[in-house]
Amino acid sequence: MLPHYLRKKGGRGENLVLPTPLLIIVLAALLAGCAGRPAAPTPTPAPPTAAELEAGTLVSIGGRRLYIHCAGLGAQGPAVIFESGLDGDHTTWDLVQAALAGGVRSCSYDRAGLGQSDPAPRPRDAAAVAADLTALLRAAGVPGPYILAAHSFGGLFARRFVADQPEAVIGMVLVDAVHEDWWARALAALPPETAGDSERLRGFRRYLTSEVADPAGNAEGVDIPAAAAQARDAGALGARPLVVLTAGTFDVLAPGLPPEVEARLRTLSQQELQGALAALSSDSTQIVVPDSGHAIPRQRPDVVALAIRAALAAVRG
């Protein structure tokens, strides 16, 4: 029943009449009460089943979906997580996962905008990729600890992931991985610029000085200098077991360069910087794969599988 001062006798009943100031106060209180009610929680999607993961499936990481494909989920851990090179999708690792068969738990995936995964805001960098992988593994229900196996540019992403999730990673396999100093060191390896330089040499110099910084130059929209800097900031790997696989056959980077420049780049890529990667861990092994070029996961998947098994044995032991 309303108080008498809020009731007015009318012809057929009682009408509510509120003085203007009181009306404002009541409305404000009602609105505040509505605003204070907690919204219904958004249900967290159930992680995919083992069968879905082994068939390959899209997993939501909050407004976007990433594709993940796992194998050997019934095997003993830790899980091996594959990171592909720049613009490479999960199929980079098909032959390696097949070589590991059912005895190793492993997962490959498509980064944002590649393969079957949804795109993400650009430009991308190593920190963004590491954050996506963290969210994906959590949403997919793939528990750590992990061994990371990374090819080419994927080594920069993997090292950023270690820095951001240090407790989650206990070993690593770098497969002809890129070192963050490659671009600066390659530029330093070129002879002084002259008017008589070939178009090929001028184009390679232009790539190293300006084009490399344009994210539109790669399908992922990756800011390469930023990703390299983030990997550098990640620091060393401590005593984590590390296997470094190095291509024994040098893939010519820019056909048409002067022979002495190619020789210098070969030494830089196959020896100096690969050795620097091996030095990231106090427990590392470097293996040169003599009959493979840069695409070791496809050319010698058996060697990659053996390196992964060695890393697994080291961390289990």
* DSSP bridge pairs for 297: none
CATH architecture of 50-179+219-252+271-316: 3-Layer(aba) Sandwich (3.40)
Contact 130, 157 (CB under 8 A): yes
Residues 156, 182 contacting (CB under 8 angstroms): no
* pLDDT confidence tier of residue 8, bands split at 50, 70 and 90: very low
Give residue 31's pLDDT. 40
- What per-residue confidence (pLDDT) applies to 255? 83
| pLDDT recorded at residue 101 | 85
- What confidence score (pLDDT) does residue 102 get? 82
Q: What percent of the chain has pLDDT over 90?
A: 82
Give residue limits of the domains in the chain. 50-179+219-252+271-316
Write the pLDDT tens digit of every residue in 156-209. Answer: 999 999 999 999 999 999 999 999 999 999 999 999 999 999 999 999 999 999
Q: Is the pLDDT of residue 37 over 90?
A: no
With tokens 């720049």, the residue in question is 86
**Residue 297, amino acid:** P
Separation between Cα atoms, residue 169 and residue 159, nearest integer Å: 10
Render pLDDT for 256-313 as a digit per residue (tens, 0 to 9).
899 999 999 999 999 999 999 999 999 999 999 999 999 999 999 999 999 999 999 9
Judge whether residue 17 has pLDDT over 70. no
Which residues, 6+ apart, have CB-to-CB distance to 275 below 8 Å?
A: 286
